[in-house]
Amino acid sequence: MTSETLDAVGATSSGTERFGHWIGGREVAPAGGVYRPTTSPVDRSVSFEIADGDGRDVDAAAAAASAARHAWAVTSTAERSELLHAVGTAVRENLDELVEAEIAETGKLIAHARAEMLSCADYFEYYAAVVRTLHGQTIDQGPGQHTYTRHEPFGVVGIIAPWNGPLNQASRGIAPALAAGNTVILKPSEFTSAATLRFARLASAAGLPHGVLNVVTGTGPAAGAALVRHDAVRKVTFTGSVPTGQVIAGIAAERIIPLTLELGGKSPLVVFADADLDRAARAAAATALMNSGQVCSATTRLIVERSAQDALLGRVSAILERKQPGVDFGPIITEPQFDKVLGFFESAAEAGATALTGGTCYHQGPAAQGRYVAPTVYKDVTPAMRIAREEIFGPVLVSLPFDDFDEAITLANDTEYGLAAAVWTGDASRGLRAAHLIEAGQVSVNGGVMTQETPFGGYKRSGYGREKGAAAIYEYTQVKTVSLDLGPF
Ligand code: NAI
Ligand code: MG
């Protein structure tokens, strides 16, 4: 590092911690010399200053990732496994500094931020195990040929992460991409970059060779688009909105590179009248509270058998109306997202939906300083309303009644998305029938659990490709077939 870059990173005169990019195993100042502040959603104060990168910084990261590519690809799976495990251990050992950075930019409740950082460690430990099972096939064409397949890395993988689970979602891509033998350039959200930068530093200290993991920060149009366009980048994984996914898919189409797209949803939570309504109500309330509904797979469309609707919604509202901002649920992470959720409240009121609880932000007290909105349940919703069709990405549940099984499935599938679903019923066979008919990549019946080990990804406009699970490692490989002619027998 030159003395110039040393001077440019570190702390600003106001004492705010400042982060450069992480390129080639060291902190690097942005080529343009500009840093952007990130803010706390809890009180809108400045949290950090983050390098505002552009194509020149992506070029530098691509050079580092390309230089590291061959040596990393030829390591044994055992070596990569050991290093990934060491990264997971480093996360556990330095949990507090990651939690602190994540909370400073997202306002997550501490228990939630800790759980997300532990799950980040788990991604590395899980793919450290999975890579030991990576194998090709032998193909028997007769005794004269020896033919087999290899799962080879693409080379440099670009990952673009959003702001709702910053390091967690980054790890979901980084761990399998590295396990498969790729080097990575990650662009975090411009709203939430600090935990990922601290993580990259820890990963290098844990022994990850320089250039294997690079983090370039900056906005989507400047740094993100340059990453997707870069010749060195041979595969891209994106998590975020449909419009940005479409822009990225357009570039990937021109460049003929594969993509994994995770674009969120409008996922149903279907409740039959014979369900355990207390458990179903707790699950629905938890969906609103968890990260304040800023979860791509949040099951926020409550599709409830008419005879049970009042009982269920009464329970859900009773849970939610007692919850305190900053204690039981966190803020909306970004200012544009806060405005967007308030816009949905207006649209719901205009459309004639009834808020059983919530439907506003906070106008007094400490919560008014931050980007908090009240957990909300809407009744008298019709399928055509915007709140029933569009991803709100806030602690907002909408309820639609049904009269029979077929109508439940029709309503569940009446969305352009298909990321996740939940079904609650006292009849497990009916639950599985519903699971098989709902067009979504993950369906949880009666509280069935999803983890690192369960494949995750969209049907329909929720995207394509799968993350998590053993299969995800194959998304970061390309198949090569090798055949040797053994000569005449
Ligand atoms: P976004 O899709 O614009 O941002 C996600 C990431 O993409 C960020 O890192 C951003 O810098 C990057 N990006 C933006 N424009 C880009 C471009 N032209 N090229 C390359 N990268 C680009 O999401 P945004 O605008 O912050 O949120 C809008 C909505 O998207 C939310 O209201 C929510 O409905 C949805 N969303 C879904 C997420 C999910 O987990 N699937 C995560 C975040 C948002
Ligand atoms: Mg956007």
Query: What's the CA angle centered on 220, arms 215 and 223, to 5 degrees?
Result: 45
- Over residues 399-416, the pLDDT tens digits come to 999 999 999 999 999 999
Query: ∠ CA 19-262-178 to the nearest 5 degrees?
Result: 55
Residue 208 half-sphere exposure toward CB, CA atoms < 13 A = 34
Residues 6+ apart with CB under 8 A from 360: 345, 373, 374
The per-residue pLDDT for range 215-230, each reduced to its tens digit, is 999 999 999 999 999 9
Ligand 1 atom with the smallest distance to the CA of 188 is 9
The two three-digit tokens of residue 388, written as one number: 């029933």
Decide whether any atom of ligand 1 lies within 6 Å of the 394 Cβ. Answer: no
Among residues 116, 190, 467, 475, the one annotated as catalytic is 467
Neighbours of 443 (CB within 10 A): 24
State the alpha helices, DSSP H only, in 94-193: 95-106, 110-130, 166-179
Q: Which of 296, 361, 391, 475 is catalytic?
A: 296
- Mutate which of 36, 52, 105, 160 for ligand 1? The one with the most ligand atoms within 8 Å of its CB, which is 160
Q: How far is residue 139's CA from residue 350's CA, in Å, rounded to a whole number?
A: 63
Cβ-based burial of 478 (10 A; exposed 0-12, middle 13-18, buried ≥19): middle
* Number of the ligand closest to the Cα of 223: 1
280-315 pLDDT tens trace:
999 999 999 999 999 999 999 999 999 999 999 999
Which tokens go with 236?
A: 């891209």
pLDDT for position 12: 72
* Ligand 1 touching residue 457 (CB < 6 A): no
Q: Has 390 been annotated as catalytic?
A: no
Give burial (CB, 10 Å; 0-12/13-18/19+) of 177.
buried
Ligand nearest to the CA of 220: 1
Residue 3 pLDDT level (bands cut at 50, 70, 90): very low
Q: Catalytic one among 102, 105, 164, 305?
A: 164
Taking CA atoms only, the protein residue closest to ligand 1 atom 16 is 220
Q: What is the mean pLDDT of residues 420-448?
A: 98
Q: What is the pLDDT of residue 488?
A: 92
Return all residues near 91 (Cβ < 8 A) that are at least 6 apart: 98, 117, 118, 120, 121, 124, 199, 202
Tell me the pLDDT of the chain averaged across its residues: 96
CA 337 to ligand 1: nearest atom:
32
Residue-level pLDDT at 1: 31
Q: Is 182 among the catalytic positions? A: no
**7 pLDDT higher than 60:** no
pLDDT for the residue numbered 200: 98
pLDDT score, position 14 = 76
The pairing of beta strand 396-402 with beta strand 376-379: parallel
Atom of ligand 1 nearest to the CA of 390: 34
Residue 13 clears pLDDT 80, i.e. is over it: no
Looking at residue 221, its pLDDT comes to 98
* CA–centroid distance, residue 245 to ligand 2 (Å): 10
For residues 451-472, average pLDDT:
97
Confidence of residue 5 (pLDDT cuts 50, 70, 90): very low
H helices of 94-109, in order, are: 95-106
Question: 244 CA to middle of ligand 2, Å?
Answer: 6
Measured from the Cβ of residue 293, the count of other Cβ atoms closer than 10 Å reads 24
- 159 C-beta closer than 6 A to ligand 1: no
Q: Do 69 and 183 form a contact (C-beta atoms < 8 A)?
A: yes
Active site residue 467: yes
Reported confidence tier of residue 17, pLDDT bands at 50, 70, 90? very high
Q: Say how far apart CA 419 and CA 459 lie, in whole Å.
A: 6
Q: Which helix (H) or strand (E) holds 43?
A: none
Which of 262, 305, 391, 475 is catalytic? The answer is 262
What sign does the dihedral 154-168-196-339 (CA atoms) show? positive
pLDDT digits (tens, 9 = 90+) for 79-130: 999 999 999 999 999 999 999 999 999 999 999 999 999 999 999 999 999 9
Share of the chain above pLDDT 70, in %: 98
- CA-169 nearest atom, ligand 1: 40
**pLDDT over 90 (residue 21):** yes
Q: Among residues 241, 139, 183, which one has the least CA distance to residue 476?
A: 183
168 a catalytic residue: no
Q: What is the pLDDT of residue 486?
A: 96
Atom of ligand 1 nearest to the CA of 244: 2
Choose one of 244, 257, 341, 371 to mutate for the ligand 1 pocket test, by most ligand atoms within 8 angstroms of C-beta.
244
Q: Is a pLDDT exceeding 60 seen at residue 177?
A: yes
Q: What are phi and psi of 136, to 5 degrees?
A: -90, -160
- According to the model, what pLDDT value does residue 75 have? 98
CB of 239 within 6 A of ligand 1: the answer is yes
pLDDT score at 6 = 38
> What burial class does residue 152 get, using C-beta atoms within 10 Å of its C-beta: 0-12 exposed, 13-18 middle, 19+ buried?
middle
Which pLDDT tens digit goes with each residue over 334-356? 999 999 999 999 999 999 999 99
* pLDDT at residue 9 in the model: 63
370 Ramachandran zone, left/alpha/beta (phi>0; psi -120 to 50): beta
Interval between CA 446 and ligand 2 midpoint (Å): 34
